Amino acid sequence: MKGAVILIIHVVRPGDTIFRLSQAYNVPYQELISSNGLENANQLAVGQAIVIPADSIPHTVTRGQTLYSIARAYRVALNDVVAANPQITNPSQIFVGQVINIPVSTQKLGTIEVNGYAFPNIAGGILQGTLPHLTYLSIFSYQVRPDGSLSTINDTPLIAAARQARVAPMMVITNIEEGASFSSDLAHTILTSNAVQETLIANVIRILDDKNYYGLDIDFEYIFPEDRENYNNFLRKVTSRLRPLGYVITTALAPKTSAGQVGLLYQAHDYPVHGALADHVILMTYEWGYTYGPPMAVSPLNQVRRVLNYAVTAIPSQKILMGMPNYGYDWTLPFVRGSAARTISNVDAAALAARIGSEIQFDEAAQSPFFYYSAEGRRHVVWFEDARSVRASLRLVAEYNLGGVSYWTINRFFPQNWLVLESMYNVRKLL
């Protein structure tokens, strides 16, 4: 295609096919398939969001419309509409059923930074397809041991690929027990021993230097509330040692809605201190809907707003990278506490709805898609992300003047997301 490309989000109606959408929007058939990650182009779900990279929006004239009224409805200058439709010889004479091309502004909302968390086992093709859209690649993770030593991970290929793509590779350290999960006790051991911290910091600096990392991301979670100030002091020590060496420091924070929010996940995360010390903070604004919880959107927009409303009062907004989930969940109904939902990719969720003939619905408050289906005599509900939910979330970045976003994780390729992101923002490159 020639000229500036805009992104249209078309919500599938009964009878829509990729072939018909290709003809209606004058976009190559194969481009629509790849832009939406469609495995079977012959199966679409009613209510499914399809992204359409197009030069303009086709509008079919209805009774009573004039070129002026159409231009006004799309908030486009009349002269621009006339210029985009050289086939119209008399602008005052258009007829019902006539198709008019509507040029739409391609002005972006600004330049932002984009972080993507990746596990070392990410497929090479997915990594290469994602790196052009990233500022940082955070490789997850070096697990801290009780003595301050670190687990080993195969990060060298990812670091090399990141730097080749002008993406800044970030070392990630976590208080995850090897073979288990985040450990409050492990964090306590680290945060209450100066000797362990000295060993840990020395090991971090060695790896940062040996592996050619750009900076450090500290993702310590489920810290005992009584270790809050110990964690703050640890961050002070880390930043004082790493920043003179030229490294940037990022921390990951639980999604708090107030300074005094209670709960093991929240209390030790001191927003003002992290905001003052770190170069960036990643707000983990996801997991409202989670594996062992009741069915709901993973990252409901109304809940994310509550977090941002507090966060920007405690942290400089340009330091904030808002968390973006790159996954959904499939729950078996009725929900039974203790039962586990199945993780599903956004591409697979839409494909499942199309394959079984479920209609995708859209929750306006959460700005998230969902659908129901039945299998083996059981009812299911799936909440996931699509181009509409991505666009709604990304608008918050400009609204709150944030520094950017952070994706958990990029191990599954979601082409709609990157097309929406690139249509709205320029992505900053640091290398």
- pLDDT over 90 at 1, yes or no: no
- pLDDT over 60 at 19, yes or no: yes
Give the pLDDT mean for 114-143. 98
- pLDDT over 50 at 3, yes or no: no
- pLDDT over 60 at 223, yes or no: yes
Distant-in-sequence, close-in-space partners of 168: CB < 8 Å, separation ≥ 6: 135, 136, 137, 162, 214, 215, 248, 430, 431
Q: Does domain 62-103 have CATH number 3.10.350.10?
A: yes
Domain boundaries along the sequence of the chain: 1-56, 62-103, 111-324+397-427
pLDDT score recorded for residue 107: 81
Give the pLDDT mean for 107-128. 97
pLDDT tens-digit map of 306-318: 999 999 999 999 9
Can you name the residues that pair with 171 across neighbouring β-strands?
A: 139, 216
pLDDT grade for 56, boundaries at 50, 70 and 90: confident
As a whole number of angstroms, the distance between CA 270 and CA 308 comes to 15
In the CATH scheme, what is the homologous superfamily, with its name and number, of domain 1-56?
LysM domain (3.10.350.10)
Give the pLDDT mean for 236-253. 98
- pLDDT over 90 at 247, yes or no: yes
Give the pLDDT mean for 243-267. 98
- Pairing outcome for strands 320-325 and 404-408: parallel
pLDDT score recorded for residue 104: 76
Report the topology of domain 111-324+397-427. TIM Barrel (3.20.20)
- pLDDT over 90 at 54, yes or no: no
pLDDT score recorded for residue 5: 60
Q: What is the mean pLDDT of the chain?
A: 96
Can you name the residues that pair with 49 across neighbouring β-strands?
A: 11
Helix crossing, 415-424 with 346-356: angle to 10°? 120
Give the pLDDT mean for 201-216. 98
Intrachain domains 1-56 and 62-103 with the same fold:
yes
Give the pLDDT mean for 245-263. 98
Q: Mind telling me the catalytic residues?
A: 221
pLDDT tens-digit map of 340-370: 999 999 999 999 999 999 999 999 999 999 9
pLDDT score recorded for residue 148: 98
- pLDDT over 70 at 120, yes or no: yes
pLDDT grade for 430, boundaries at 50, 70 and 90: very high
The Cα-based distances of 318 to 282, 349, 402 in angstroms read 11, 33, 5
pLDDT score recorded for residue 2: 36
- pLDDT over 90 at 75, yes or no: no
- pLDDT over 70 at 206, yes or no: yes
- pLDDT over 90 at 105, yes or no: no
